[in-house]
Structure 1
Amino acid sequence: MAQTPHPTSQLLILGVAQAVLFVLGGLLGRWIGIAFGIDAFASAGYSAREMIGILLVGLGAGGGLQLARVWYARRYGNPRG
């Protein structure tokens, strides 16, 4: 039961949405960290506070990426078949 591939224009929408929400999610994670006094780029070292800040940025970026994938799948269907 093969599914026809998605048109290139729809896949471009997916790529742009993933890129935009990845960046916005990372920024949101950084802003949340700064609001709680946890800055990923506070010093040149890697203390616990910087590591938690890096984790927040990564979680925000990954969450934004997954949000874009869920949005696309609900609107256009799963691109992988």
Structure 2
Amino acid sequence: MSHSNGNDDTRHLLVNGVADAVGFVGGALLGFWLGQLLGLDIFAPGYGIGSLVGIALVGLGGGLGLHGARRWQNSRRSQPSKD
């Protein structure tokens, strides 16, 4: 009885989770820094238009980063195995 299937599933889930996290955080950071370059301070007091646009850029960047990570995962899944 082999348990390699369970280990492969666990490894696959771990790789997917890490890829999702890296994509989301990386994208959010890119959105944050783009906002900084445009002079949008998400930490400014109150909720002015600049803060809201900066927050939207962070959210958009995180979503796009997650989407990119999922596309990367799907492209890896469709490639033939190198066994």
Fold agreement, TM-score > 0.5:
yes
Q: Which has the higher helix share?
A: 2
CA distance in 2 between partners of 1:76 and 1:68 (Å): 12
Which 4+ residue blocks in structure 1 deviate beyond 3 angstroms?
none
Larger Rg: 2
Aligned counterpart, 2:63? 62
Within 5 Å, which residues of 2 pair with 1:1-81?
Answer: 7-43=9-45, 45-77=46-78
TM superposition shift of 1:8:
2.2
Aligned counterpart, 2:4? none
Deviations 1:40-59 (A, max 9, x none): 1122x111110000000000
Deviations 1:15-70 (A, max 9, x none): 00100111111111000000010111122x11111000000000001111111100
CA distance in 2 between partners of 1:22 and 1:52 (Å): 18
CA distance in 2 between partners of 1:27 and 1:33 (Å): 10
CA distance in 2 between partners of 1:75 and 1:7 (Å): 15
Partner secondary structure for residue 27 of structure 1: helix
CA distance in 2 between partners of 1:23 and 1:13 (Å): 15
CA distance in 1 between partners of 2:47 and 2:25 (Å): 23
Unaligned 5+ segments in structure 2 are: 1-7, 79-83
Give the letter aligned to residue 50 of structure 2: R
Percent sequence identity is 51
Partner secondary structure for residue 46 of structure 1: coil
